[in-house]
Structure 1
Amino acid sequence: MTGDHVGAVLTAGLAIVVVGRFGRQEMFVLGALPALVLVPLMVVLLPESPSWLASQGRAAEARAVGEHYGVHVEHHTPGEEQEERSGGLMLLSAGRRRNSIAVWGASSMGLLLVHVFTAANHPPRVRATALGMSAGVGRLGAISGPIVGGTLLSAGRAYPWGFLAFAAVGALGGAAMTGTRTRHGLRGPGR
């Protein structure tokens, strides 16, 4: 996920330079070029994950990949393998359904609120720029979140420090929102 957000930020920066000079069609061509190089490299160089190989009954390959990358390959009972194969449906199983739906709802409603607030409080001539900046700056959190979480997890400090770190980020976000003014409180050209 972090690579996706880094790519989005870099693409926006590239677009600022390219679209003004050459046009949007050239931007689409430039956007496709990395895929033409990276997809074949990924197919050749990236192995399947050890868990997937093990779930397909390819235990020897799973062990070899796991040993090469220093990843522990878990051995599952047949029932656990069947549950693992259910993929996305596993998120809606009895023990996970409530949390999955709550997280999906919170994520989508949070993004919706940010976008609605941004759109409602900027005049039409800068609304698209405001939404783009909101999404772009928001990606910085999407980039740093997995880095912080992964670092804490690797250090064996994910609990309780991971929760505390993300709670602090949430509190900072809430504090930042208290400094905003609604459109009715703003004065300026076009208001």
Structure 2
Amino acid sequence: MKGSTPQSQSLWMIVGLCGLSVAFDGYDLVVYGTTVPALLREWQISASEAGTLGSLALVGMLVGALLVGTLTDILGRRKMLLLCLTWFSVFMALCATAPSPEWFGAFRLLGGLGLGGLLPTAAALVIEYAPPRHRNLTYGVMQSGYAVGGILAAAAAIEVIPNAGWRVMYLIGATPLLLVVPIAYRLLPESLDFLVLHGRRDEALALADRLEAALPEPQAGQDKQHWYSGVRELVTPGHRAGTVLLWVACFCSLLTIYGLNTWLPQIMRAAQFPLGSALTFLVVFYLGSIAGSVMGGRIADHVGSKPVVATSFLLGSISILLLAIRPSTWAIYLLVAVAGHGTIGAQNLFNAYVTRYYPPVARSTGIGWALGIGRLGAILGPTAGGLIIDSGAVWQWNFYLFAAVALVGALAVGLVPVSPSLAAARAAH
């Protein structure tokens, strides 16, 4: 690349590898739903049992986000990313060999541990190496891999399941072990912040020289790191209120995303929306999230993350609510695209905001705990939507529920106080 530098080459290598890794998080979001009909037929399980199997991966992701997010700030971001990729790839492959629902559920639960820890690690690496003027845009490009993975899962299922069976879908989900891990092992750099914070200054200096990057200075009071340092930072007086509000926002966001992803196609069919295939709907939904992540990231770099994230959640709430009035066909597709931005796209921007809200010592821990709490919403979302459907209430009530939850998320973000870490960084400049 003409005019490229080792620093820019390394940045795009990090963005590419992390984006490819996160794509398999998006793939996992969709893959189970595509295989449920085949599982029902093969194992003769009930719909409620299938729902329980689906929740097990989310439980694993909850634990993984809390545990791995914390361990990442202790053991290193590069090491944990490689471990998470390897871990969930192995268990995706084991899902393809599962002889019974019980084994399948166990493999999904264990695989979720690695998958839940992947995003906090990737987020911390990308935010650290992204240029300050384009930090949100860079993160938005990386996080778009999530939506790409969801689209690929939906598209692959159409051809793969009828011709090769559901097990092949999980073998595809194991491909990071062959495609990503070897390249990441060779090319992915460790976090400079991590090396400096843990006293490995010589390693940090050598890496900074190779990448032509600035060496971060250790922050006052963070010279000695303990296993609890990151978690302690989340509840310091300066961060405590923001931490709680960020957890509330993430809970609302993931409840809306997983609730809509599970039930929206069925709701729209029940309401006789003229949408055609469910795949078309998913493509529009995810394309809206990609466009929103990139454009929102660009705007956030100019006006700040907080107003963009809050506005994105608000747009998601409004678009979901407007779907309840049965608009015209072209308006449906527009609203679905905006809903994609206001849910998945907003969550992508939110992840970047949370990661930067905390100092380097707590970046992976901060986003890990927010996503871990958010996974409770991810587990509750499909259940809440199902309860409304089973209650016999009119289909609009699902839209009312998810719109209200997204609105609460917008309000929570709007109330987050200024981070002491960001305020100190701005004062230094």
Please tell me the TM-score bracket, short chain as reference.
Answer: 0.5 to 0.7
1:82 partner amino acid? K
Query: Where does residue 322 of structure 2 map in the other structure?
Result: 179
Residue by residue over 1:104-152, the C-alpha shift from the partner in whole angstroms, topping out at 9 and shown as x without a partner, is 11221243256179749946x97xx98xx67x936853x4555446545
CA contact (8 A) 2:197 2:225 kept: no
The answer to whether structure 1 residue 157 and structure 2 residue 334 are counterparts is: no
1:21 partner amino acid? N
- Once the two structures are superposed, the pairs formed by residues 1-191 of structure 1 within 5 Å of their partners are 1=119, 2=143, 3-77=145-219, 79-82=221-224, 86-113=229-256, 115=259, 119=263, 122=266, 137=285, 140-141=288-289, 143-144=290-291, 147-148=294-295, 150-152=297-299, 157-159=302-304, 162-181=305-324, 184=394
Runs of 4+ in 1 over 6 A off after TM superposition: none
Q: Mark the CA change 1:94 to 1:165 in structure 2 (over 3 Å): closer, same or farther.
A: closer
2:394 partner amino acid? H
Query: Where does residue 189 of structure 1 map in the other structure?
Result: none
Aligned length: 176
CA contact (8 A) 2:208 2:215 kept: yes
Residue by residue over 1:12-46, the C-alpha shift from the partner in whole angstroms, topping out at 9 and shown as x without a partner, is 32223212221111111122123223112211221
CA contact (8 A) 2:197 2:222 kept: no
Q: Mark the CA change 1:35 to 1:158 in structure 2 (over 3 Å): closer, same or farther.
A: farther
Q: Mark the CA change 1:34 to 1:164 in structure 2 (over 3 Å): closer, same or farther.
A: same
Partner SS for 1:177: helix
Partner SS for 2:215: coil
Distance 1:70 1:151 in 2: 25
Q: Please list every run of 5 or more consecutive structure 2 residues that lacks an aligned counterpart in the other structure.
A: 1-118, 120-142, 271-276, 326-392, 397-429
Superposition CA RMSD, Å: 3.9
Q: Mark the CA change 1:23 to 1:185 in structure 2 (over 3 Å): closer, same or farther.
A: closer
- Which structure has the bigger radius of gyration? 1
Distance 1:118 1:107 in 2: 18
Partner SS for 2:237: coil
1:36 partner amino acid? L
Q: Mark the CA change 1:20 to 1:112 in structure 2 (over 3 Å): closer, same or farther.
A: same
Bigger relative contact order, structure 1 or 2, given CA contacts below 8 A and separation 6+?
A: 2
Partner SS for 1:68: helix
Percentage identity across paired residues of the two chains: 27
Distance 1:52 1:67 in 2: 16
2:195 partner amino acid? L
Distance 1:121 1:28 in 2: 23
2:241 partner amino acid? R
Q: Please list every run of 5 or more consecutive structure 1 residues that lacks an aligned counterpart in the other structure.
A: 187-191
Q: Mark the CA change 1:106 to 1:169 in structure 2 (over 3 Å): closer, same or farther.
A: closer
Q: Mark the CA change 1:87 to 1:36 in structure 2 (over 3 Å): closer, same or farther.
A: farther
1:137 partner amino acid? F
Deviation at 1:185, TM superposition (A): 6.5
Q: Mark the CA change 1:22 to 1:179 in structure 2 (over 3 Å): closer, same or farther.
A: same
With structure 2 as the length reference, what TM-score do the two structures score? 0.34
Deviation at 1:76, TM superposition (A): 1.3
Q: Mark the CA change 1:19 to 1:58 in structure 2 (over 3 Å): closer, same or farther.
A: same
Q: Mark the CA change 1:8 to 1:113 in structure 2 (over 3 Å): closer, same or farther.
A: closer
1:29 partner amino acid? L
Q: Mark the CA change 1:40 to 1:185 in structure 2 (over 3 Å): closer, same or farther.
A: closer
Residue by residue over 1:152-179, the C-alpha shift from the partner in whole angstroms, topping out at 9 and shown as x without a partner, is 56xx6243xx444444433432331331
2:153 partner amino acid? T
